[in-house]
Amino acid sequence: MIRIDSTAVRWLVPYFGRARGAWALAIVATIIASATEPLVPALLKPLLDRGFQGDGIPLWMVPATLLLIFAVRGTAGFLADLALAKITQDGLKLLRQDMFARLLDARLSLFREQNATALSNTVVFEVQNGATLLVNSVIALLKDSVSLIALLAYLVYLNWQLTLIVFLIVPGVALLIRTVSRRLYRIARSTQTATNDLAYVVEENVLAARVVRLHGSQAVQADRFAGLSGSLRRLAMKTAVAQASITPLTHMLAALALSIVISIALWQSREGITVGTFASFITAMLMLIAPIKRLSEVASPISRGLAAVQRAIDLIEKTPPESGGDHAPGRARGRIELQDVGVRYREDGPPALDGVTLAIEPGQVVALVGPSGSGKTTLANLLPRFVLPTSGRVLLDGHDVAQWRLDALRRQFALVSQDVVMFNDTLAANIAMGGEVDARRLAECVTAANLQDLVAALPEGLQTVTGHNAMALSGGQRQRLAIARALYKDAPVLILDEATSALDTVSERLVQEALQHLMVGRTTLIIAHRLSTIEHADRVVVLDEGRLVEQGSHAELLARGGLYARLHALQFASA
Ligand SMILES: Nc1ncnc2c1ncn2[C@@H]1O[C@H](COP(=O)(O)OP(=O)(O)OP(=O)(O)O)[C@@H](O)[C@H]1O
Ligand SMILES: [Mg+2]
C-alpha cells in the first residue's frame, strides 16, 4: 500500500536487523497479541445466546476467560515492546557510532558545506526519531495487519455474505493513504531543513550574543528567527491538515460499510441470525476500525522516519572519507618542498596560492610574512592536507603528502593555529590530546609555554576542567595552552600561525624563548605579522596575493628594499 524506498530499507537492515532473537520475540508476541483480538467478540456470542438463560454457562467462566485472554495479550504486548526497544536502541547505537566515525574521517569539505547544528541534529536527534518511528511502524504494521486478518477471518466465519461488504472499505483506504503519504514525505524533508535553519540561528546568536547586543541588531535577529519559525509553522500545519484528514475520511468509509451491514443484518435476521451472532459481528466489525485507522496512519510515521533516516544514509554513504596513501615511515626528517603549488577555494574566485615553489631543509626555521589574505594560512594548511592543492605538489621528505598515510603524515606536524580550539576537558587532557600522559613532560611543556603561574593558581592544577572552548581563560592563556599542546606533541615539523599574537610583550618574549629551544632540530614554519618576532628565522619568505614575491634572510630582504622592507618600515615607524 505504501511506497517504501527499498534501498533505504536494505541499507538499514545491518543496523536494525541484527537482533534476530529480539525480532522473533517481537513478531511472535505481536502475532499472539493481535490474533487473539477476535476472542473478545467471540466471547459475546455464547454469553448473549446462552449466558442469560437458566441452564447457560457456569458463572465463573466469563470473568475467568476474560482475565485469561487479557493476561495472555498483556504479556505478549509487554514482551513485544521490550523486544522493540532493544532492536531500536541496539541499532541506533551502531548507526550513531558509524555516523560519528564518518564525521571523524570525512573529507574536510563536509564542514564547509554543512554547519555544526545541522550535523549534530542529524547524528543526535534525527536518527533517533527516524529509527524509532520506522521500527515501531514495522511492528504496528504487523500488529494491525494480523488483527485485521484475524477479525476478518472471524467475520467470514460468522457470516461471509456480510463480510463481503466490509471489503468495500479496503481499496478506498488504500487510495487515500497513497496520496497522503507522498505528500507527507515531501513535507517531512522540508521540515528537517527548516528545523536545522532555526537551530542554526539559535546557535549563532548564542555565540554572537555580545556582538548582537553591542550593535543593537536584536530586531534583525528576531525577524530572522520569526521568519524561520513561520515557515516551520506552515509546514507543521500542512502536516496536520494531511494527517487530520485521514481519520475522518477513513471513518466515513467505515461508517458507510457499517450502515450497510447493519441494514442487511436486520433484514437477514428474519432468516435466523441470533442476537449473539449479530452482536459479535458488529463488535468485531467496530474493532476493525482501529487497526484500519492505524494502518492508514502508519504512512505518516514511515514517511517521516524515512526522511529522517535518509540524512543519516546521505552522511555515511555520500560523504567521501579523506583519502591518503600508504607511505608510513616513522619519524620524518622534516624536509618540506612545494612545487609550483596553486590553491583555489572557488573555481571562479582568485587563487589563494599561485605557483608557489619553495624548499625548506630539515631543521630550518622559515618565517612566512605577507599582508592579510596573502595565503599564509593556506600554505600552512597544505602540509597536513587540511587543504588540497589545485595544482602542483607538496612533498614531505621527498614524498608527495598525498602518498602518505594520513595518520602517519599528521603525526609529523604540531600546529598552533590562528583560531585556538579547546575541549571541555581538563588542562592536562587538552595538552596531551589523547596521547599518553607523562606528568614530567606535561610539566615541562606547561613551563615552556609560560603557563606555570596559571596552573599553580588553579585549585585543581592541571586537572581543572576548562569549560566550553576554555572560555574561562584569557585569549593569551588559551594561546599558551595551544602552544603547550604543540610542544607536547613533539613532532618533527612545527607550524606556528600567529602563535604569539595574543600575548603581551613580556609573555611573548618568554614564550619566544621557549619556542626558540623547541625549534632546535625541527623544521619550523612561523607565520607572524609582528616582524620583531621572526628576526631569528633562517629565512623569510614573503607572500603577496598568493604569490611568493621574495625570500632571503632578514638583512638581505631589508637591503633589497622590496615588500618586506616596506612592511618592516611601516611597523617600526608606528611602534
Ligand atoms: N575556506 C575558505 N574558503 C574560501 N576562501 C578562503 C578560505 N580560506 C581562505 N580563503 C581565502 O584565501 C585567501 C588566503 O587566505 P589565508 O587564510 O591563507 O590568508 P592569510 O595570509 O593567512 O591571512 P591572515 O594574515 O589574515 O591570516 C584569502 O583571500 C581568503 O579569503
Ligand atoms: Mg592566516
Q: Which ligand 1 atom sits nearest the alpha carbon of residue 498? A: 27
Contact residues for 145 (Cβ-Cβ < 8 A; gap 6+): 291, 295
Is the pLDDT score of 507 beyond 80? Answer: no
Cα angle for residues 47, 53, 55 (degrees, 5° grid):
105
| Ligand 1 atom 18, closest CA | 375
Which of helix, strand or coil describes residue 115? coil
User: Residue 330: what pLDDT?
Assistant: 87
Residue of 110, 10, 86, 12 lying closest to 312 (CA atoms)? 12
Mutation to probe ligand 1, out of 378, 416, 530 (largest number of atoms < 8 A from CB): 378
544-569 pLDDT, tens digit per residue, is 999 999 999 988 988 988 899 998 88
CA atoms within 13 A on the CB side of 24: 4
> Which ligand has the nearest atom to the CA of 375?
1
Share of the chain above pLDDT 70, in %: 96
User: Residue 71: what pLDDT?
Assistant: 92
Cβ 417 under 6 angstroms from ligand 1: no
DSSP state of 458: S
Cβ 381 under 6 angstroms from ligand 1: no
pTM given for the model? 0.78
Average per-residue pLDDT in the chain?
A: 86
Cβ 373 under 6 angstroms from ligand 1: yes
Amino acid identity, position 105 = D
Tell how far the Cα of 114 is from the centroid of ligand 1, in angstroms. 19
- Superfamily of domain covering 6-318: ABC transporter type 1, transmembrane domain (1.20.1560.10)
Is the pLDDT score of 438 beyond 70? Answer: yes
In the block, cell 515501531 appears at: 136
95-148 pLDDT, tens digit per residue, is 999 999 999 999 888 888 888 888 988 899 888 988 888 888 888 888 888 888
296-312 pLDDT, tens digit per residue, is 667 778 888 888 888 88
Note whether 34 and 150 are within 8 A (CB): yes
DSSP state of 424: S
Mean pLDDT, residues 193-219: 89
Residue of 569, 548, 237 lying closest to 367 (CA atoms)? 548
- CATH 3.40.50.300 region(s) of the chain? 336-574
| Low-confidence winner among 53-67, 414-428, 462-476 (lowest mean pLDDT) | 53-67
Q: Which CATH number fits domain 336-574: 3.40.50.450, 1.20.1440.230, 3.40.50.300, 3.40.50.1820?
A: 3.40.50.300
User: Residue 2: what pLDDT?
Assistant: 46
Cβ 351 under 6 angstroms from ligand 1: no
The total number of residues shown for the chain amounts to: 575
Cβ 377 under 6 angstroms from ligand 1: yes
> Which ligand has the nearest atom to the CA of 374?
1
Mutation to probe ligand 1, out of 377, 386, 420, 497 (largest number of atoms < 8 A from CB): 377
DSSP state of 534: G
Q: Looking at mean pLDDT, say which of 100-104, 470-474, 505-509 comes out highest.
A: 100-104
CB atoms within 10 A of CB 284: 26
Cβ 371 under 6 angstroms from ligand 1: no
DSSP state of 548: E
User: Residue 1: what pLDDT?
Assistant: 39
- CATH 1.20.1560.10 region(s) of the chain? 6-318
137-173 pLDDT, tens digit per residue, is 888 888 888 888 888 888 888 888 777 777 766 677 6
Is the pLDDT score of 329 beyond 70? Answer: yes
Whole-angstrom distance, CA of residue 337 vs CA of residue 315: 35
User: Residue 368: what pLDDT?
Assistant: 94
Tell how far the Cα of 367 is from the centroid of ligand 1, in angstroms. 18
Q: Looking at mean pLDDT, say which of 26-40, 283-297, 358-372 comes out highest.
A: 358-372
Is the pLDDT score of 174 beyond 70? Answer: no
